[in-house]
């Protein structure tokens, strides 16, 4: 619930003036540089928070982020550069934590635009990506190939036979679709950190092997908001879009509806494939109206079956969450949806 008083005071700028009831309150926000919160003296739980302040700083470069941990400039970092996880684990002053997640990485394809309106093209691109190799190259083994459009640990998730890596089949499908020589397109990314760059470069190389030339653009938060989240279907320049999603509710509706329901095309929500299927819409709506687990299972399965068959995405991997912190820091946790829990954080 938004504070009516805060909404009246800040209006459209309320996002820059958060008001809540947590253990910390905003002190300074220097956008793109850092955000600092300080202890909220009126917090309801006695004895908390234990820290006077916490400063968050976005560091996109993997090597810099790891170095800040090793020198003690930072007490906590997430995500940890996957390729440096083993090295950091050997540091006697640090603790490395790897845990399961519900964060799925994928590439959506704008199915309202050529050539992605052709199902054979979308199938071809799915055959073109070697997900097992991607896990090794970009994630150093800290991920698993996607087996559906919903991560396995989410309620009502369905798993399927993963797309095999078959570039010959991909080229055959492109020929059948009328693109024997491939085509050129754009591949935008909602992330500009080093791991994302590895994913993008790997994907670009894989697509090139079947004749597809993908021009990469890595976006910062402002670009993403303006070019992807803020434009409707007619204005959107999105063709292929690399991003990720974690259903923080832990169930299938929040894993499916924002990403596949017809009413959730940008700028409403995050259906960047501009995917639309009446049966999927009906199933998702009906699943929300019933408390019967068997009915929910049937409805969510049917929706996922259709989506998997029509393949508006290239599902890539489900990440593992890898963080590291100073052994002097306690009570600081990464949640499965990549959120943070630091109510009980303490630095000794």
Domain extent for 30: 18-58
Domain identity same for 22 and 81: no
User: Does 339 reside within a domain?
Assistant: yes
Can you tell me the mean pLDDT for 144-165?
96
pLDDT > 70 fraction of the chain, expressed in percent and rounded: 100
Query: What CATH number corresponds to the domain at position 84?
Result: 3.40.190.10
Domain identity same for 263 and 331: no
Q: For residue 31, what pLDDT is reported?
A: 80
Q: For residue 245, what pLDDT is reported?
A: 96
Q: For residue 19, what pLDDT is reported?
A: 84
Domain identity same for 270 and 153: yes
User: Does 11 reside within a domain?
Assistant: no
User: Does 213 reside within a domain?
Assistant: yes
Beta carbons of 204 and 161 less than 8 angstroms apart: no
User: Does 345 reside within a domain?
Assistant: yes
User: Does 182 reside within a domain?
Assistant: yes
Domain identity same for 77 and 156: no
Number of domains, the chain: 3
Domain identity same for 274 and 211: yes
User: Does 9 reside within a domain?
Assistant: no
Mean pLDDT score of the chain, rounded to an integer?
94
Domain identity same for 166 and 251: yes
pLDDT at 1 over 80: no
User: Does 141 reside within a domain?
Assistant: yes
Which segment of 19-33, 105-119, 234-248, 249-263 scores lowest on mean pLDDT? Answer: 19-33
Give the tens place of pLDDT for each residue, 197-212: 999 999 999 999 999 9
Domain identity same for 52 and 146: no
Q: For residue 17, what pLDDT is reported?
A: 83
pTM, full prediction = 0.83
Domain identity same for 71 and 110: no
Domain identity same for 54 and 68: no
Q: For residue 61, what pLDDT is reported?
A: 84
pLDDT at 259 over 80: yes
Domain identity same for 140 and 269: yes
Q: For residue 18, what pLDDT is reported?
A: 84
Q: For residue 36, what pLDDT is reported?
A: 95
User: Does 133 reside within a domain?
Assistant: yes
Give the tens place of pLDDT for each residue, 44-85: 999 999 999 999 999 988 889 899 999 999 999 998 888 889
Domain identity same for 328 and 297: no
Domain identity same for 94 and 172: no
Q: For residue 337, what pLDDT is reported?
A: 86
Select the more confidently predicted residue: 219 or 14: 219
């Amino acid at each position: 619930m938004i504070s009516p008083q805060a909404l009246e005071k800040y209006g459209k700028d309320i996002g820059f003036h958060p008001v809540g009831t947590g253990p910390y309150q905003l002190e300074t926000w220097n956008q793109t540089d850092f955000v600092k919160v300080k202890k909220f003296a009126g917090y309801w739980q006695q004895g908390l928070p234990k820290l006077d302040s916490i400063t968050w700083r976005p560091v996109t470069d993997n090597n810099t982020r790891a170095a800040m941990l090793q020198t003690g400039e930072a007490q906590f970092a997430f995500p940890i550069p996957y390729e440096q996880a083993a090295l950091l684990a050997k540091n006697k002053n640090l603790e490395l934590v790897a845990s399961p997640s519900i964060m799925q990485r994928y590439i959506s394809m704008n199915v309202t635009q050529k050539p992605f309106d052709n199902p054979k093209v979308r199938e071809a691109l799915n055959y073109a990506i070697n997900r097992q190799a991607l896990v090794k190259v970009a994630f150093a083994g800290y991920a698993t190939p996607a087996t559906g459009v919903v991560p396995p640990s989410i309620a009502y998730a369905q798993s399927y036979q993963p797309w095999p890596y078959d570039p010959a089949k991909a080229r055959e499908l492109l020929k059948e679709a009328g693109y024997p020589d491939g085509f050129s397109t754009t591949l935008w990314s909602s992330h500009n950190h080093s791991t994302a760059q590895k994913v993008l470069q790997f994907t670009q190389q894989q697509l090139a092997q079947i004749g597809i030339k993908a021009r990469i653009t890595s976006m910062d938060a402002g670009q993403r908001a303006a070019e992807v989240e803020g434009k409707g279907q007619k204005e959107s320049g999105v063709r292929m879009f690399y991003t990720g999603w974690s259903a923080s509710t832990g169930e299938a509706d929040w894993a499916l509806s924002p990403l596949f329901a017809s009413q959730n095309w940008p700028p409403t929500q995050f259906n960047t494939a501009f995917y639309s299927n009446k049966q999927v819409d009906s199933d998702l709506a009906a699943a929300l109206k019933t408390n019967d687990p068997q009915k929910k299972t049937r409805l969510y399965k049917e929706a996922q079956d259709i989506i998997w068959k029509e393949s508006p995405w290239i599902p890539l991997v489900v990440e593992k969450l890898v963080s590291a912190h100073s052994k002097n820091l306690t009570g600081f946790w990464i949640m499965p949806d990549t959120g943070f829990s630091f109510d009980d954080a303490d630095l000794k």
